[in-house]
Structure 1
Amino acid sequence: MPEISLQGRVLVGGAAHGELLYADVGLSFWGGIDPFSGEVIDRHHPLSGAIVTGRVLAIPSGRGSCTGSSVMLELILNGHAPAALLLEQVDDILTLGVMVAEQLFGRAIPVLVLGPEGFAALAGQRQVRIDGSRVEAGAALATPAPAASASREPQATWTPRLALTDGDRALLTGEHGKAAQAAMGIVLRMAELQGAEELLDVTQAHIDGCIYTGPASLRFARQLVDWGARVRVPTTLNSISVDQRRWREQGIDAAFGEPAAALGDAYMAMGAQLSFTCAPYLLDSAPQAGEQIVWAESNAVVYANSVLGARTLKYPDYLDICIALTGRAPRIGCHLAPQRHARLHIQLPPLGELDDAFYPLLGYHVGLLCGSEIPVIEGLEQAAPDTDALKAFGAAFATTSAAPMFHIAGVTPEAATLEQALGGQAPQRTLRIEAADLLRSWHELNSAQEPRVDLVSLGNPHFSFSECAQLAALCAGRRKHPDVALVVACGRAIHERARQAGHVSALEAFGVQFVTDTCWCMLGEPVIPPGARTLMTNSGKYAHYAPGLVGRPVHFGSLAACVEAACSGVASDRLPAWLQAGAAREIPVHV
């Protein structure tokens, strides 16, 4: 007999049975699960090392990367998916991956939302059985487990509940081709799941699905191309998984390089521009305040909403191209002004003079605190962080949270005052961060135990022109240690600007290697030297992901500290002045 019986909200239907794998911490599938083994590789997560294949995975939600939907599709099509996914709250990214598998390829797993009480009731249970909306759990349940991601008939035709325009109906009935028809079907299914009542027009798109996660990602794109897909709005492309012009000379295995490059070609065949950057806000095509857009790539979404004041949801991979093919997006969430207000108020103490390591560290820590709530941070009015600082903050924030944006009082455009950021309402929660709290996150990002540094990795997100100039100034008149590699990732457009300004030649003389088109979350050996044991970065995002993605511990610090390490071959253990107050207190630190 089951010990508990629950009713859930069905996002994707089905039946399943299996051993429960439960955690009360959200999980990014990209950088968090190996799509070819089903292992949890996020070394900061409580499920690290566990295998999800064939088990009922229960997590509050996803978090971090929009590419989680692509990893989910990969897992389902290669047989390494969970038997089912149980969530505390709706997660668009993970659910979309299952929906695409079902609608295009006839395979899926059940996905249900249980709410806070139902989800908490699963803690400590061993076996779970799911049938439609019913979830039973106990120490032992006799029903044999079906295979994960069971085959099923493609979803039957349904009548959308949303208010549709004549143009929407024309897309849905196939008047504009099979690719647009399939794309509109996916857009409408997600819109209904999100509770939208209608769609809205978007002016541009940024596609994250061009990241090669395995055969399924290329299969999806080629299917759309075969169906005659063409984007209906100006569309840029995220970093792909290789430097498309130079992957062969970099020693990338053709078994990976060829399909990864072909995936970028497939999206360009749909009419997308050759941009290949995870920082589209650095392009001349960056949107204006109030512009309705569809952007994927978690750091780009957060920057667009928070710093530019444009309006987008945190769109999953595959939904991004579906909206680009239709020009229509759900009228929901951060597309609407009232949904952009903060509900979490975070107060900072006086911290003195700050260096550039502060902002990614703070973003990482705030993301851990807020979950899916939009926060407003108070206490940086006099610090006046520049766009590079906000880029670094947003990328780390997007890594540990599920929220689509943040506000910084007196800094970001929709937070001229604390009251404006909160929409005139009282916050639902107020938290105060102390230096000791930031010190704990500092030690979490600094996972390396030995001082040695073999590789300094910069440009996650892609380096800006001003960062290239700052790095050139820091390296001027100095010599890089011969045993340390220093690699910068940036977009082609920024690389060309930096070349014209003389920064590229100066940095290459120092020993810097530039990589374009791709980013650190996709880079491995041999760009990362096979003999490299320890990395150093100024990116909170990469400091989090690298131990799982490339199996190396990381030193984290400011850009200046990274240059010092590149010259000396070791990382300093000296804390920034703004953290030393926390270190002065005798607090336990978990490294």
Structure 2
Amino acid sequence: MYLTKKEEKMSNGEYGETIRKSMDILIALGDIYEAEKLVDIESAQVSGVSYKTIGDAGLEYLEDLASDKLEPSNVNSTLNPAGTDLDNWKSFNFPEDFSIKQNKIVDAYGKLGINTTCTCTPYLIGNVPKFRDHVAWSESSAVAYVNSVIGARTNREGGPSALAAAIVGKTPMYGFHLDENRVPTTAFNVETDLKTIDYGALGYIVGKQVGSGIPYFKLQNTPNNNDLKSLSAALASSGAVALYHVEDVTPEYKNSEITDFITISNNDINETKDKLSTTDREPDLICLGCPHASLEEIKQVANLVKDKTIKNELWVCTSINIKAAADRMGFTKTIENAGGHILCDTCMVVAPIEDMGYEVIGVNSAKAANYVPSMCGLDVIYKDLSELVKFV
């Protein structure tokens, strides 16, 4: 792989050990995938944040990187969700030792120049690249969204490679950074109108079928951004989809030449929604916001629970930025008056909810329905918001 003179100096350690280690990761990736060169990136999004997933070894690795004096790149870089609400973990009874170590992880990332706002929806809080920008993102649902809905270009990075790219400001030029690798592999004609959790079910079905392929969708109705957020998450979690096209919706669909379609019926959607629930029991915790809730989604929750009392325990997970807007709009107070809570920085998948006394989790996210049983060992109920929330 070709390196500029400056990149050679970075690789040789002339800019410090942390940059040298980061260059080692990027060069190794470039060699594996036969990239011709590194390309400058406009933004990064880094996973590997929750103490639940990276543990003490990850904390030690990050603190070692952060101990080196470093002049961070000017890349706009954000973090994936952490394992706790960083500021209010005591209020929500998160384990103390876990929460203290979680904050140390986030502090180490901050010393490396990464924005310590923790969210899986960075495109909702200002990390919004332009069409055709090269970026290095690692949260799977955000990768699918930024590639597909925005039309920026990223591979499905791992946490270490996204961090290395954020530190250096570059990533190897291969995979989805190249035009020839962005064309669809399989096309689907959805013969039913979709609403709310139907998009998650569709993504689950198609992700299972195409794996790491590139699906093309012909839909009966036009999805909004929240629908596309749900579709992205389900495609990325049931398969390994990093890019998809929706006819007349996403920016690169016209580059496709489609002739043969696989049909998705209303029965397919309904059967999948039923399949994603693992029990018939009532949830003792409802978790919304996977991926993190938008302000519009929080407004929907507030309108549903206004002047009522919630029977189940309710968490709405979002970023601290969106929470601040919800506070100002009065949505937070409405939800709290009904007995619910808005949590920042975390979500039900990467939080230690299995150690907090819960058994059945209610979700309106196909990604969460897919991951909670395997990552948390808990049962899930997959239903629409209006069906999940019960009132006294």
TM bracket (short chain): over 0.9
Asked whether the 8 Å contact 1:241–1:260 carries over to 2, the reply is yes
Change (3 A) 1:335 1:521: same
* Structure 2: distance between partners of 1:292 and 1:231: 18
Runs of 4+ with deviation above 4 angstroms = none
CA deviation vs aligned residue, 1:360-403 (integer Å, no higher than 9, x gap): 111111111111111101133xx111001110111111101122
Aligned partner of residue 274 in structure 1, secondary structure: strand
Question: Counterpart amino acid of 1:177?
Answer: G
Question: Are 1:547 and 2:387 counterparts?
Answer: no
* Structure 1: distance between partners of 2:276 and 2:380: 7
CA RMSD of aligned residues (A): 1.8
Give the 5 Å matches for 1:97-246.
Answer: 162-212=1-51, 213-232=54-73, 233-246=75-88
Which shows bigger deviation, 332-341 or 259-268? 332-341
Counterpart of 2:288 in structure 1 is 458
Give the 5 Å matches for 1:269-280.
Answer: 269-280=111-122
Find 2:304's aligned residue among 454, 458, 474: 474
Question: Counterpart amino acid of 1:174?
Answer: G
Question: Counterpart amino acid of 2:153?
Answer: R
Quick check: which has more Rg, 1 or 2? 1
Question: Are 1:386 and 2:386 counterparts?
Answer: no
CA deviation vs aligned residue, 1:9-44 (integer Å, no higher than 9, x gap): xxxxxxxxxxxxxxxxxxxxxxxxxxxxxxxxxxxx
- 1:319, CA displacement in angstroms? 0.5
Question: Are 1:400 and 2:238 counterparts?
Answer: yes
Change (3 A) 1:254 1:411: same
Find 2:263's aligned residue among 432, 445, 457: 432
* Structure 2: distance between partners of 1:234 and 1:470: 30
Question: Counterpart amino acid of 1:441?
Answer: T
Counterpart of 2:206 in structure 1 is 366
Counterpart of 1:140 in structure 2 is none
Question: Are 1:537 and 2:350 counterparts?
Answer: no
Give the 5 Å matches for 1:184-583.
Answer: 184-212=23-51, 213-232=54-73, 233-349=75-191, 351-352=192-193, 354-380=194-220, 383-415=221-253, 420-422=254-256, 424=257, 430-450=261-281, 452-481=282-311, 484-525=312-353, 530=357, 532-563=358-389, 566-567=390-391
Asked whether the 8 Å contact 1:342–1:374 carries over to 2, the reply is yes
* Structure 1: distance between partners of 2:184 and 2:39: 23
Aligned partner of residue 275 in structure 1, secondary structure: strand
- 1:226, CA displacement in angstroms? 2.1
- 1:453, CA displacement in angstroms? 2.5
Gaps (5+ residues) in structure 1?
1-161, 569-591
Asked whether the 8 Å contact 1:480–1:567 carries over to 2, the reply is yes
Asked whether the 8 Å contact 1:454–1:535 carries over to 2, the reply is yes
* Structure 2: distance between partners of 1:187 and 1:291: 19
Change (3 A) 1:477 1:255: closer
- 1:244, CA displacement in angstroms? 1.2
- 1:229, CA displacement in angstroms? 4.1
Asked whether the 8 Å contact 2:292–2:317 carries over to 1, the reply is yes
Question: Counterpart amino acid of 1:363?
Answer: G
Aligned partner of residue 145 in structure 2, secondary structure: helix
- 1:421, CA displacement in angstroms? 4.4
- 1:529, CA displacement in angstroms? 5.3
Question: Counterpart amino acid of 1:219?
Answer: E
Q: Percent identity?
A: 29
* Structure 1: distance between partners of 2:219 and 2:324: 37
* Structure 1: distance between partners of 2:178 and 2:237: 24
Question: Counterpart amino acid of 2:391?
Answer: C
* Structure 1: distance between partners of 2:2 and 2:162: 21
- 1:249, CA displacement in angstroms? 3.4
Higher relative contact order (CA 8 A, sep 6+): 2
- 1:230, CA displacement in angstroms? 4.4
Gaps (5+ residues) in structure 2?
none
- 1:463, CA displacement in angstroms? 0.6
CA deviation vs aligned residue, 1:176-235 (integer Å, no higher than 9, x gap): 111101110110101111121111111111111223221121122112112334431221
- 1:468, CA displacement in angstroms? 0.7
* Structure 2: distance between partners of 1:288 and 1:559: 32
Asked whether the 8 Å contact 1:342–1:421 carries over to 2, the reply is no
Change (3 A) 1:375 1:421: farther
Asked whether the 8 Å contact 1:409–1:421 carries over to 2, the reply is no
Asked whether the 8 Å contact 2:185–2:214 carries over to 1, the reply is yes
Aligned length: 389
* Structure 1: distance between partners of 2:57 and 2:87: 23
* Structure 1: distance between partners of 2:341 and 2:277: 24
Aligned partner of residue 236 in structure 1, secondary structure: strand
TM-score by length of 1: 0.63
Question: Counterpart amino acid of 1:550?
Answer: C
* Structure 1: distance between partners of 2:285 and 2:96: 24
Aligned partner of residue 118 in structure 2, secondary structure: coil
Question: Counterpart amino acid of 2:67?
Answer: D
Question: Counterpart amino acid of 1:306?
Answer: S
